[in-house]
Structure formats: structure tokens, C-alpha cells
Amino acid sequence: TGIEGVLSSAATPAGLSSLHARQYVSLFGGTGKPAYLHICEGATRMEDGRKDESTGKLISYLVSDFVKG
């Protein structure tokens, strides 16, 4: 399951909301003992012309939330 509405080759209308994903990585980063955070992919532009400039911003938020957690 991915994050809903994020542009990628496996984009999905169903999945975690961006807010829930951020809360999850923050919680896990602070309470678990993670070795790393794996973010598989995200795109700002697809070959078919779709664009979403907010993908990079969401990825940076996820990393920041994980580190702060």
C-alpha cells in the first residue's frame, strides 16, 4: 500500500493519507529501532505528461519527520 494521490508508477487512489504516513514514520522513528527509512519511489513528472511538484516536498517531510521522531 502506498500513499494515496502521490505520483509514481504505482500511483493509487487508495492507501495511507499523507498525514497518516507522516505520523507513522515519526512514531516509528522515535519508538522503534529502525536501521533506515526506505522510500521506494516518487515522481514529479511522468512520461504520459502528468505532473505533481509536491512529491519532492512530501518525501522531504517524511525524511524530516523520521529523523525528528
Per-residue pLDDT of the chain (69 residues; tens, 9 = 90+): 688 888 888 777 788 999 999 999 999 999 988 999 998 888 888 889 999 889 999 999 999 999 998
Helices (H) and strands (E) in the chain, counts: 2, 0
- Separation between Cα atoms, residue 40 and residue 62, nearest integer Å: 12
- Separation between Cα atoms, residue 1 and residue 4, nearest integer Å: 9
The C-alpha angle 17, 20, 21, rounded to 5 degrees, equals: 85
